[in-house]
Amino acid sequence: MRLFAVLAAGFVYGAAVAGPLDPPGADWQLKGTVILSRHGMRAVTIAVRCGGVEKPGDCLDALGADRWPDPAVASGHLTDAGFARMRVMGDFYRRHYAQAGLFPLVECPPASRVAFISDGVERTLLSAGAVMDGMFPGCLLPNLQVRPKLYHGPACGYEAAQARAASIALAGVTPAELMRGELARPLGVLDTVLGPFRPEACVAHGVAAPCSLATLAANGDGFDGLHVAAQTSEQFIMQYGADLPGDGIGWGRLPAAAGKSLPAAIMEVNALHAASERIAFMPPYQAVKRGTPVLSPVLAALTELAAGQGPAFTYFSSHDTLMLALAGMLDLTWAPPGFHPYQLPPGGAFAFELWQPPTGALMLRLVYIVQSLDQLRSGATLDAQNPPSTTPVQIGACGADPAGLCPWSRFAALAQAASDPACLPAADDE
């Protein structure tokens, strides 16, 4: 079976499923948790309108037959719905981790018990603020820590050609071959929904007009076509989460093109996004270079916790690409219910939890937490009756464990061994 067969064929759309958030065993004590989260729903990171854009291929309106909806915020910025859903996630974290004993359920926590940290990007910074406000509304906590270059170290020898070769090695085929094979159906659905591209976009992407997404996908090794497919398909999650009417999501063409309900059609085309992001950021070559600066602060926070120091709850606001790099370093495996394996939807997070069993060594449990597609749309409160989707994350070198558990000492050693110190930023650059 090829690497991405599960992406194309194994997805089943469904509601959020209650997952492994209970204590791992009787009388286990949670010492603390470190959250590494993707930001919330954002506008597309390129311009939507093509006026004034130097390269027509770098605007969304050129990538399809019809004008895209106005996201009402600047390119790449957090949307209003994105802020609101991140606040809902914060409320869930408060409820869940207060029940686990990390801080009071109602009163404001001591400032030393919690930390919220972000890089300087607008969408991550506002997402961290939304989670902070959702967890502790009205509390006079220290300001959110902003470290502009937190996740970005030196180039440390990164070469694009080697990264492309590593991506092909991970997939086992080129992106073009992948889209002709296992991803042919979601590509066909998305191609039908988008329709023909503007002629200037065809030229900008190195193909003759007329063209469409299918043309780009068949051109060369297919990296450009898969990237465009990923970028456009994920926008339908953002549109659905913003509670647009059905005919405003993919111009109303998704259900007919896929022969499925709207949510299932959205997730079918997102197989392209999941595959694109995984082969771009999880191969070992690029994972170590891009993931080392991400893993370093997470490991430092966990090390403090293990020593009985530092905040009991630390929240890092980050990006899906960087989280995938960290996942590639540690050989992580996860399959969130309702989404594709290895997919990191907006607001989804890795929860690194340190647990002390009644006897024996400290254990790390890794869980992936995310709102379901319908929870993103509704913005409903997350609680025991309406939990987010949760799933254990397997740490490859720790061996298979149904609960995602790994001895802390072993995890710390693995994380250190996987990192490249040459890729870490200088202390004054964080």
Q: What letter represents residue 306's amino acid?
A: A
At 189, the pLDDT band (50, 70, 90 cuts) reads: very high
Average pLDDT of span 411-420: 97
What is the spatial distance between Cα 159 and Cα 430, in angstroms, rounded to a whole number?
23
Relative orientation angle of helices 122-135 and 80-99, to the nearest 10 degrees: 40
Measured from the Cβ of residue 206, the count of other Cβ atoms closer than 10 Å reads 12
- The pLDDT assigned to 340 comes to 96
At 429, the pLDDT band (50, 70, 90 cuts) reads: low
Return the bridge partners of 351, or none. Answer: 35, 367
Three-state secondary structure string covering the chain: CCCCHHHHHCCCCCCCCCCCCCCCCCCCEEEEEEEEEECCCECCCCECCCCCCCCHHHEHHHCCCCCCCCCCCCCCCECHHHHHHHHHHHHHHHHHHHHCCCCCCCCCCCHHHEEEEECCCHHHHHHHHHHHHHHCCCCCCCCCEECCCCCCCCCCCCCHHHHHHHHHHHHCCCHHHHHHCCCHHHHHHHHHHHCCCCHHHHHHCCCCCCCCHHHHHHCCCCHHHHHHHHHHHHHHHHHHHCCCCHHHCHHHCHHHHHCCCHHHHHHHHHHHHHHHHHHHHCCHHHHHHHHHHHHHHHHHHHHHHHCCCCCCEEEEEECHHHHHHHHHHHCEECCCCCCCCCCCCCCCEEEEEEEECCCCCCEEEEEEEECCHHHHHHCCCCCCCCCCEEEECEEHHHCCCCCCEEEHHHHHHHHHHHCCHHHCCCHHHC
pLDDT single digits (tens) 26-79: 999 999 999 999 999 999 999 999 987 777 678 999 999 999 999 899 999 999
At 426, the pLDDT band (50, 70, 90 cuts) reads: confident
Average pLDDT of span 386-395: 94
Among the residue ranges 143-147, 195-199, 227-231, 275-279, the one predicted with the least confidence is 143-147
pLDDT single digits (tens) 347-380: 999 999 999 999 999 999 999 999 999 999 999 9
- For the entire predicted model, the pTM comes to 0.95
- The pLDDT assigned to 430 comes to 54
Measured from the Cβ of residue 26, the count of other Cβ atoms closer than 10 Å reads 7
Given this structure, which CATH class describes domain 5-43+74-155+283-429? Answer: alpha beta
- From the centroid of its chain, how far is CA 403? 21
- The pLDDT assigned to 10 comes to 41
- The pLDDT assigned to 11 comes to 41
| Of 316, 335, 391, nearest in space to 34 by CA | 316
Cα 255 to Cα 2, 3, 189, 361, distances in angstroms: 28, 27, 9, 51
User: 3.40.50.880, 3.40.50.1240, 3.30.70.20, 3.40.50.720: which CATH number matches 59-73+159-281?
Assistant: 3.40.50.1240
Residue of higher predicted confidence among 403 and 239? 239
In sequence order, what are the residues at sequence separation of 6 or more whose Cβ sits closer than 8 angstroms to the Cβ of residue 167?
A: 175, 223, 279, 280, 283, 286
Domain with CATH 3.40.50.1240 in the chain: 5-43+74-155+283-429, 59-73+159-281
- The pLDDT assigned to 1 comes to 29
- The pLDDT assigned to 243 comes to 94
What is the spatial distance between Cα 133 and Cα 9, in angstroms, rounded to a whole number?
39
Average pLDDT of span 374-390: 94
Strand-pair category, 349-356 with 29-38: antiparallel
Residue of higher predicted confidence among 150 and 1? 150
What is the spatial distance between Cα 400 and Cα 395, in angstroms, rounded to a whole number?
7
